[in-house]
Amino acid sequence: MDTALSAHRFHFAFTIIYHYLFPQLTMGLAFLIALLKIQGLRTRNPVYDTAARFWVRLFAINFAMGVVTGIPMEFQFGTNWSGFAKKAGGIVGQTLAMEGIFAFFLESSFLGLVLFGEKKLGPRAHTAATVLLAIGTWVSGFFITATNAWMQHPVGHRVLPDGRIELDSLRAVLTNPWLMAQYPHTILGSLVTASIVVASIGALYVLLKMHPEQGRLFVKLGVGVGLPAAILVAFPTGDVQAKNVALKQPIAFAAMEGMFQTERGADLVLIGQPDVEKLKLDNPLEVPDVLSFLTHKRWKAEIKGLEAFPRDQWPQNIPLLYYCYHIMVGLGTIFIGVLGLAAVLLWREKLFEQRWMIWILMFLLPFPYIANTAGWVTAELGRQPWLVYGILRTRDGASEHVSSGNALFSLLGFMGLYSALSALFLLLVVKKIQKGPVPNPEPTAT
C-alpha cells in the first residue's frame, strides 16, 4: 500500500473515530433528556428538571465537541477523497446535503433554545425544544448512516461509462435494506452509550453519597432504558446486520468470524488469534456448529472461508477486523448481562443495597464507547478493499494530488489539536460532574 493512501486512510480513521465519541453519546442522551423533561412536565416534580438541566450541561459540551470534530469530516470528502467525491458525489452528495438541510438547521436552532431559552419559552415549549433537538440528532444520524449503508451495499444508482455514479432512485438509497438494519443498530448503540453513561455517573454519586436522590434517578433511568436498548442492539438489529454481511459481503463475514477454510457446520469462535500467514486460528475456543445455525438456521449449513475467495478481494487487515468484531459482540453480550442483572435487582428493590453492582455500573462507563467504536471499525475494515462495495476501490478514491507529506501534516495537526481538546473536554466534564445536579438557585419557570 503506498504511503499517501495510508496517510489518507489513517487521516479519516483517526478523525472519524474521535468524532464519533461525541455523537454516540449525544444522540442517545438527547432522547434521555427529552424523557426527563416530559416526565418533569407530567409530574411537576422539580427533581426531573434538575436532572435534565444537569444532563443538558454535559450534552452541550459533547455537542460542541461533535460539531467542531464533525465539520472536518464533511470537508475530508473533498480534500482527502476527491476521487470518491468526483465519482460518487452524485449519490453521497445527496445524503450528506440532506443532513445539512433536514438535520443541522433543526439541531442548531433548537440547541440554542434549549440552552438559552428555558425561561423565555416556558416549560411546555422548552420540553418541545428538547424533543425537536433529539429528533434533529436522530435525523442527522439517519443521513450519515444512509451514506455509509450505500457505500456498504450500493443501491439506486447507475454507473456511467466515464466511471461516475449517477443517482437513479433516491427512494431506493433511503430505503436501502442494509440501512434498515444498520440505522436502528447504530441508534440503539448510541442509546446504550448514553444509558450506561447516565447510570455510571448516577452510580458514582450513589457511591460518593453526593446528590443521592439524583444518583438513584440516573441509575434507574440508565438501567431502564439501557437494558431494552442493549437487547435490541443484539436482537433483532445486530442479528439481521450479521446476516446481511454474510449474504452481501461474504468475504468480510469470513474474516470477521476468523474462518479461513470453508466448513459445513461452522463453529462459533469465542476467542482465538488469527494467523493470516499460516491461514489458521491459534488457540481457538469454539462452540460447534453454532455459526452455521445463527447464520442459516441450519446446524450443518455451509459457510465459505476466506480461501474460497480471491486474495485481492480480502480485507487488508483481517486480524484487526476479527478482533473488533469480537470485541463488539463480546461487550454487547456483557452489557445485556450486567444491565439485566441490575434490572432484576432494581425490580426487587434491592439494587441500591448491593454495593458491588453499583461499583460495576460505575466502571462500565468506557465500555460502550469501545463497543461502538469497534463496531464501526468492523463495518469499515470489512468493506475493504472497497470504498463503495464492488464499485470503487479505496485506492481509487483518495486525492491523487495531495501528497503523503501534506496529508501527514494535517493528520499530525489534528492529532495535536484533538489532544488539547481532549484535555479541555475532560477538565470541563469533571468540573460539571463535581458541581453535580444542583437545583437552580432562583425559582424556575416550572
Stretch binding another protein (CB under 8 A), from 36-44, 242-250, 329-337, 398-406: 398-406
Which one of residues 60, 290, 345, 408 is an interface residue with another protein (CB under 8 A)? 60
- Residue 292, C-alpha cell as written in the block: 452455521
The only residue of 1, 17, 97, 271 in contact with another protein, by rule CB under 8 A: 97
Selected from 1, 101, 208, 370, the binder of another protein by CB under 8 A is 101
Asked if residue 438 binds another protein (CB under 8 A), the reply is no
CA dihedral angle for residue 21, residue 24, residue 26, residue 28, rounded to 10 degrees:
-150
Judged by CB under 8 A, does residue 366 bind another protein? Answer: no
Which of 158-166, 217-225, 274-282, 362-370 is the region at the interface with another protein (rule: CB under 8 A)? 158-166
Report the residue from 92, 233, 321, 327 that binds another protein according to the rule CB under 8 A: 92
Beta-bridge mates of residue 32: none
Q: Which is nearer to another protein, 167 or 210 (CB)?
A: 167
Candidate list 109, 317, 404, 446; residue touching another protein; CB under 8 A: 109
Under 8 Å between Cβ of 93 and 164 = no
What are the DSSP calls for 301-344, one per residue? -EE--GGGS-GGGS-S-HHHHHHHHHHHHHHHHHHHHHHHHHHH
Is residue 328 within 8 A of residue 370, CB to CB? The reply is no
Count the site residues for another protein by CB under 8 A: 70
Report the nearest approach of another protein to the CB of residue 272 (Å): 41
Cα 335 to Cα 192: distance, rounded to the nearest angstrom:
9
Angstrom distance (rounded) from CA 27 to CA 191: 7
Q: Please give the backbone phi and psi of residue 301, each rounded to the nearest 5 degrees, phi first.
A: -65, 150
**Cell numbers placing 330:** 463480546
* Position among 90, 123, 177, 265 found at the interface with another protein (CB under 8 A): 90
Burial class (CB in 10 A: 0-12, 13-18, 19+), 123: middle
Place of cell 441509575: 219
Per CB under 8 A, which region of 22-30, 306-314, 319-327, 407-415 contacts another protein? 407-415
- What residues make contact with another protein under the rule CB under 8 A? 53, 56-57, 60-61, 64, 67-69, 71-72, 74-75, 77-80, 82-83, 85-86, 88-94, 96-102, 104-106, 108-113, 115-121, 160, 164, 166-168, 170, 399-402, 406, 409-410, 413, 417, 421, 424, 428, 431
